[in-house]
Amino acid sequence: MAQIHRLQVETEVKSSAAKFYNMVKNNMTELTKVFPECYKSIEFVEGNGRTVGSVMLWKYVVVSPKVLTTKEKIEEIDDKRRSITYKVIEGKIMDIYRSFSMKTQVSVPSPNHFMNLLDMASKKLDA
């Protein structure tokens, strides 16, 4: 019986949320310059890569030296939430999964660590 799985990864980046989202949305092909050992090429085969319906062909290496290819279609773009959803439509990964989607969402970190600092400082001042 098939199961639906969700994997979530959070990564802290040094850039502002707006700057990082702009790179993800408008400059994905730059990954070939930043990580040439992993990303061999990224090209738009339909659309401009910045609009819903655009299709990108990725050539990448997971385990060297074999180069894999994947076609991804942009399913949704939400600029307000800084998120883009991609669906894999061709590639080796489709031999393993019947459906494979990815969502990239760029968010501003929660202010919890600032609140924790304020809490600790308040307790020290009250001591």
Residue 11 inside a domain? The answer is no
Q: What is the pLDDT of residues 106-119, one digit of tens each?
A: 988 777 767 777 88
In CATH, what number is assigned to the domain containing residue 42?
3.30.530.20
- State the pLDDT confidence band at 2, using cuts at 50, 70 and 90: low
- Asked if 46 and 53 count as a contact pair (C-beta separation under 8 A), the reply is yes
Q: What is the pLDDT of residue 127?
A: 63
Q: Which of 51, 70, 50 is nearest to 60 (CA)?
A: 70
Residue 108 inside a domain? The answer is yes
Domain limits for position 98: 17-126
Put simply, whether the predicted model's pTM sits higher than 0.85 gets the answer no
Strand, coil or helix: what is 49?
Answer: coil
